[in-house]
Amino acid sequence: MARKKMGLTDRHKRILAFLESYQKKTGYPPSIREIGEHTGVSSTSVVNYYLDQLEEAEYIARESNISRGIRILKTFGETVATVAKDATSAVGEMLRIPVVGRIVAGSPIPVPSSDFSHFDPDTGINIARSMLPAREKTDELFALEVHGDSMVDAMVNDGDLVIMKKINSANNGDMVAVWLRDRDETTLKYFYLEGGRVRLQPANPTMKPIYIEDPATVEVQGKVILVIRQLDVN
């Protein structure tokens, strides 16, 4: 069975575009350090992390025992064209999901008592029904714009939109939007209930989890079911 291609984040695209331009200019692939320097990634391990994802999704191939052993399987331009073609052929029924506000994927920040109220009532995003789980009730869905980078390793970047399902409880491992009542703050994190306290876990190795001793102060407001990435193809 063919593996499903992942969506490209902005960082994936920058790396892939640099690989292509460097190869055309020099005739050979760049080093890990050169990739990091030209795409704004300071850690070589993080560069390798993104290259591994691109290889898994079959955009590149790597030779682990060869220096500069990166081979492009699909160029940046071809990737954009393929995504556009696939999106056109799979549009089907279109739905409009209301964008009701911003959510912080980082340290929680205070919000007004009205909570998700940043956008006006007419703001929304159109998506294909086929992008959603088959049995999902569309009247229970809403969208939030992500601010921050604590969920970057879950492929949720600053400026992305997350499609949420309205829920008031969560299972361990769910990515949820929560309101911390005692702090009057919101955040987007992985949810875990452990030993009578809540752990809100970021997906960023540079950030620490948030521990809430009183679970009653954590109000789950929605679960992420889809990420709409904001891609700059220019």
Residues with a catalytic annotation lie at: 150, 189
| CA 103 – CA 163 distance, rounded (Å) | 12
| CA 19 – CA 185 distance, rounded (Å) | 41
Q: Exposed (0-12), middle (13-18) or buried (19+): which is 93, by Cβ within 10 Å?
A: exposed
Phi, psi of 187 (to 5 degrees): -160, 160
Please answer whether residues 162 and 143 qualify as being in contact, where contact means their C-beta atoms are separated by less than 8 angstroms: yes
Please answer whether residues 125 and 144 qualify as being in contact, where contact means their C-beta atoms are separated by less than 8 angstroms: no
Quick one: tokens of 105?
């994927």
Helix axes 44-56, 10-26, angle to 10 degrees: 90
